[in-house]
Amino acid sequence: MKSFGLKLSQLMKKNNMTDEQLAELLSVSRTTVLRWRNGERSPKMSKISQIAKILNVSATYFIDENESYCPEDHAITKRNIPIYGTIAAGKPIEAIENVIGDIQVPDIILDKYGFEKLLALRINGDSMNRIVHDGHIAVLERTTNINNGDIAAVLINGYDATLKRIYKTNNRIILEPDSFNPSIHPLMFDCTDIENCPEIKVVGKYIWSCAPIQ
């Protein structure tokens, strides 16, 4: 499959999906996805079928040179989860009333995380625009279990949620932007445990994003 890597890269770019996101959904390593995209390895057919579902094309698109995008004909079953415009501090997720709409989520995400564990947040700003663009919708897993390098939505000092990469050192929590804007800098907090840091409250872990249909 000479062109598999190129097609995969194009579809991932179109869907604003990173190597680590796809790897998480497929339960493979980020290096494996990178090798697929670079043409160093080819996935098994079972994985190609899963990739096709995630990226909303037919599996034959990756095999037949004449196959084109066909999201309508090969659309997968989806369910809707709520989109929050902002998330206020001091309130549990269940008590928030500012739902601005809903979003269709692929079954593979629902199967992996469960409907009750998902929510979506409209992104404001460009601090993570290498990953999620301003105005796009980020889907989150409701969890406070965050590892180094994970992207998470967090409340900072009682303000609305912001999306950042989380890094933990021996004496600091660092919220790192992933942006093309050089004027945006990391935020640092003198905490050793993110779950017990008074200035930070984790809302959820970033899973997937998409552009809203206008």
First to last CA, the chain: 36
Q: Is 46 a catalytic residue?
A: no
CB 137 within 8 A of CB 186: no
The active-site residue out of 127, 201, 205, 209 is 127
Q: Under a CB-based contact definition with an 8 Å cutoff, are residues 193 and 166 in contact?
A: no
What is the β-pairing status of strands 99-106 and 78-84?
antiparallel
Q: Map out the domains of the chain with their CATH numbers.
A: 4-62 (1.10.260.40), 78-210 (2.10.109.10)
Taking 50 as the threshold, does the pLDDT of residue 170 lie above it?
Answer: yes
Which of 7, 53, 164, 201 is an active site residue?
164
Residues 179-202 have pLDDT tens digits of 888 898 999 999 988 888 888 889
27 as an active site residue: the answer is: no
* pLDDT tens, position by position, 58-81: 776 775 432 332 233 334 445 788
Question: What local confidence, expressed as pLDDT, does residue 96 receive?
Answer: 54
Edge-to-edge strand list for the sheet holding 161-168? 99-106, 78-84, 118-122, 137-141, 200-210, 151-156, 161-168, 173-176, 187-189
Alpha-carbon span 48 to 34, nearest angstrom: 15
